[in-house]
Structure formats: C-alpha cells, structure tokens
C-alpha cells in the first residue's frame, strides 16, 4: 500500500511539474495562416524561463517590440498586446505552439497561428539569388480594390544580399519596420507588433515593382526625388482662428483646458492620437523621454487620445497602460471616439483632420505656430532624423519668444 501511494505521488508530482514547465526561451518563428492559403511569418524571442518574469519581444528588422505580458495556465500560453486589445492564445507542445490571434474579450474573428522554437529565418529561402538589388527610394501608387481613390506613398527599400527591409511613407505616417526576402524577381515582406499582421509581396520587372498589400495593389517606380506633400501645410487653422483650446477629461474625469494655470505663458506641444495607433506609439517613444529632459525649460505636452470605445473604464485602462508603457509624464486627456470626422467636429478650428497623430506647436501666447500632420518614425531613417531636428528647432524658437 505504501509503495503504491509513493508511486502515485511521484507520478502526480511529475505530471504537475511537466504541466507547469515554461515554454522554451530563445528565438521563435511564427506563421499566421490565412483562409486564402497565404502564410505570413513573424519572428519573436522569449527571454526568461519563468512565466511570471519572462518577456516576449516581436522582432521586425532592428526593432524588438515588447508584448504587454505573458501568462501560462497549465499547457496554454497567453501573450497580451494591450494597446490593440489582442492576445495570442497558444497551446504548448514541447517546442511548438499552436493557437489563434484574437481579441482579449474573445469577440470578432480569430486568426490561426503556429510557431516553432529555434528558427530564426523569416521567409524560407528557396535558393534563388535576387535578379536585382532594389535598394532605393520609390514613387508608389496604391490602388483600392473597390475603385476608391489611389493613394500616393514613398517606398524606402534597403536590400542586403537576399534580405530586404522596407517601409512605406504616406501623409498619415509610415508602415513601420517591414522585413523580408528577395528571390529571383519576387519579393516578400511582413511585420507584426500585436495588431493584425502586415504582408506585402510583388514582382520586379524592368526596374518597376508591382505588388499586393492585403486587398490593395501597388506599383512602384524608382525615383531618388520621390516626395510627399509638406506635412506642415496639410492641416492648419481656419481663417479667423489663431488660438486653440478645449475642455476635455483626463483618465480620472477631471477637465483639462489649455487655459489652465499649468500651461500659462508656456510653449505647448499638443498631440492628437490614440493608444491603439502604431505611429502614435512611435511618437510617444520620442516625445515621452524628450519631455522628461525638457519640461523645466517652460514647455508642456498634452496628448489628446481618441479611443475605440468611450466606456470610462475602458478609456482609463487604455490610457494608463499607454502611460506606463512609454513612461509618460505629460498630461493626457480623452478626446472621444477614434474617428477622423469626429476629431474635426471636436476641433472646429482645424481646416481638416487627416492623420493620427497630428502635432500642434503652440506659442506662449496660446497661438498655433505650426501643425505637423502624421509622424515619420524611426523606420524611415533620414526622415525621422529630420523630424527630430525640426521639432527641436521649432521648440527652441518658440521658447525664445516673449509673452
């Protein structure tokens, strides 16, 4: 009887230990399986061997984008991406994972996904050498499948052997870090940071690129002078307006106005965005540390967040998560639902509203000096460097002006 008890105890202990063994640390390659048959690969890395302290980073080019949290329950793994209200719900089977990408409240559609440990490549190499190096700047036209207006963008491609890195700039921002491969006359690009995965593919022929991105098609022609409209001239105050003000609640419901004493006689940087917006995340990654370094110079920052839901508890949670993630020390307020028409109605002084984010530079007297539409993030290289230079020059200029 005693031997039987000890045997059962050892089996039970082994089973519990095995069930609680955390997923393997190190590099992983995941694949999203679309109903069309298209497979969209992504790479990630798990650091740590304990579910309570481990961290997961999504890898796109040089970027390691952190997931919000990892939770293990028995043989299931839940990877949360709070800014998108998404999670990966995965079953652990040795060094393989399988499951879905879904909303955290389990609403809406799910996207099947699988992953294998130890694989560091993104797209499988079929051995074909690239026919040509497509590095450079391109004029790109995206066509809607529903016959809508075409959209002009600027494509930035950087090729190293058969590896390809790219991003597409538009007046509303950029497509962030895309990573992929060139094989013969074909190329493939993808990215994933917790929302829906991005996937681009195309063909290179006689110097022209033709391809698809989701349901859209695009053509790209190399042009070292490819450019978009001046981002400082797209959004402006209507005739008759000089100042800009509002009365909006913060995450706790307290009303905030630019007429408050906190902003009196100070330069104010006002950003209009949303916690769900990838380009707004890039903006916060720059503005948050910039504010900590410059707040004692007589400058304030206000982030007006337009969210996907207006429920107070949802808004508070979204804004506080955003604040923690980017170590935000400046004022944040809730603007309303994330709809461009709604933003334009909320801020009637603006001639239009084209992009989350949009940045207003306001002088010490409360007058709007400049408005920057969109955001060119770190994936854009020289464009990002130029933006930072112009941002600091504009603030320095306004700080020198007298009240």
* Helix/strand/coil for 160: strand
pLDDT digits (tens, 9 = 90+) for 29-61: 999 999 999 999 999 999 998 878 899 999 999
Does 3.40.30.10 match the CATH number of domain 247-400? Answer: yes
Report whether 252 contacts 284 (CB < 8 A): no
Please report the DSSP string for 76-126 in residue order: EEEEEEGGGTEEEEEEEETTEEEEEEEETT--S--EEEEEEET---SSPP-
Residue 222 in contact with residue 136, Cβ under 8 Å? yes
The three-state DSSP-derived secondary structure of 229-265 is CCCCCCCCECCCCCECCCEEECCCCCEEECCCHHHCC
Q: Give CA–CA dist 357/282, Å, rounded.
A: 10
Alpha carbons 118 and 113: distance in angstroms, whole number: 17
Whether 27-117 and 136-222 share one fold: the answer is yes
CA dist 272 and 230 (Å) reads: 19
Count of beta carbons in the 10 Å neighbourhood of residue 241:
15
The pLDDT assigned to 7 comes to: 44
Chain segment 151-188, per-residue pLDDT in tens = 999 999 999 999 999 999 999 999 999 999 999 999 99
At 167, list the tokens: 């991003």
Question: Helix or strand or coil: residue 342?
Answer: helix
CATH class of 27-117: mainly beta
Q: So what's the pLDDT on residue 12?
A: 41
Q: Where do we find the tokens 């063994």? A: 21
Strands (E), 34-75: 39-47, 55-60, 63-66, 69-73
pLDDT given at position 256: 96
pLDDT of residue 209: 97
Q: So what's the pLDDT on residue 20?
A: 52
Query: Hey, where are the domains in the chain?
Result: 27-117, 136-222, 247-400
Of 305, 290, 300, give the one whose Cα is nearest residue 330. Answer: 300
Q: What is the pLDDT of residue 363?
A: 96
Low-confidence ranges of the chain (pLDDT < 50): 2, 4-19
Token code pair at residue 209 = 């690129």
DSSP letters of 178-208? EEEEEETTEEEEEE-SSSS-EEEEEEEETTE
Gap between the Cα atoms of 281 and 331, Å rounded: 16
Contact 359, 269 (CB under 8 A): yes
Q: Is the separation of the CB atoms in 267 and 398 below 8 Å?
A: yes
For 347, how many CA atoms within 13 A lie in the half-sphere containing its CB?
28
Query: For the chain, how are helix, strand and coil distributed in percent, rounded to 5?
Result: 20, 40, 35
Residue 77: name the closest of 105, 111, 46, 37 by CA.
46
Fold of 136-222: Lipocalin (2.40.128)
């Amino acid at each position: 009887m005693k031997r039987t008890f000890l045997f059962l105890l050892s089996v039970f202990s082994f089973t519990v230990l095995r069930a609680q063994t955390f997923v393997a640390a190190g590099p992983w390659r995941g694949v999203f399986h679309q109903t069309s048959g298209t497979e969209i690969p992504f790479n990630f890395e798990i650091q740590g061997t304990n579910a309570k302290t481990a961290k997961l980073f999504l890898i796109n080019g040089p970027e390691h984008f952190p997931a919000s949290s990892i939770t293990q329950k028995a043989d299931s793994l839940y990877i949360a991406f709070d800014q998108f209200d998404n999670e990966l719900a995965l079953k652990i089977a040795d060094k393989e994972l399988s499951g879905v990408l879904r909303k955290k409240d389990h609403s809406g559609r799910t996207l099947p996904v699988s992953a294998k440990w130890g694989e560091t490549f993104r797209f499988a190499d079929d051995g074909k050498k690239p026919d040509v190096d497509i590095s450079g700047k391109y004029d790109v036209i995206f066509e809607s499948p529903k016959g809508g207006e075409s959209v002009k963008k600027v494509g930035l491609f950087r090729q190293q052997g058969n590896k390809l890195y790219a991003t597409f700039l538009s007046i509303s921002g950029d497509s962030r870090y895309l990573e992929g491969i060139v094989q013969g006359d074909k190329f493939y690009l993808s990215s994933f940071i917790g929302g829906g995965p991005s996937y681009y593919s195309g063909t290179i022929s006689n110097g022209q690129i033709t391809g698809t991105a989701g349901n859209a098609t695009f053509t790209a022609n190399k042009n070292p002078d490819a450019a978009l409209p001046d981002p400082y001239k797209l959004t402006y105050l209507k005739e008759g307006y000089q100042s800009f003000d509002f009365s909006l609640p913060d995450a706790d419901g307290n009303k905030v106005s630019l007429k408050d004493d906190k902003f009196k006689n100070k330069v104010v940087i006002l950003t209009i965005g949303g916690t769900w917006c990838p380009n707004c995340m890039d903006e916060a990654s720059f503005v948050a540390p910039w504010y900590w370094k410059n707040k004692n110079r007589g400058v304030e920052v206000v982030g007006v967040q337009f969210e996907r839901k207006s429920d107070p508890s949802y808004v508070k949670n979204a804004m506080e998560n955003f604040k923690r993630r980017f170590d935000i020390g400046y004022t944040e307020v809730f603007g309303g639902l994330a709809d461009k028409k709604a933003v334009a109605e909320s801020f009637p002084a603006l001639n239009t509203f084209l992009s989350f984010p949009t940045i207003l530079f306001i002088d010490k007297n409360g007058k709007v000096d400049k408005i920057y539409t969109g955001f060119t993030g770190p994936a854009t290289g020289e464009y990002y460097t130029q933006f930072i230079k112009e941002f600091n020059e504009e603030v320095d200029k306004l700080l020198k002006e007298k009240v």
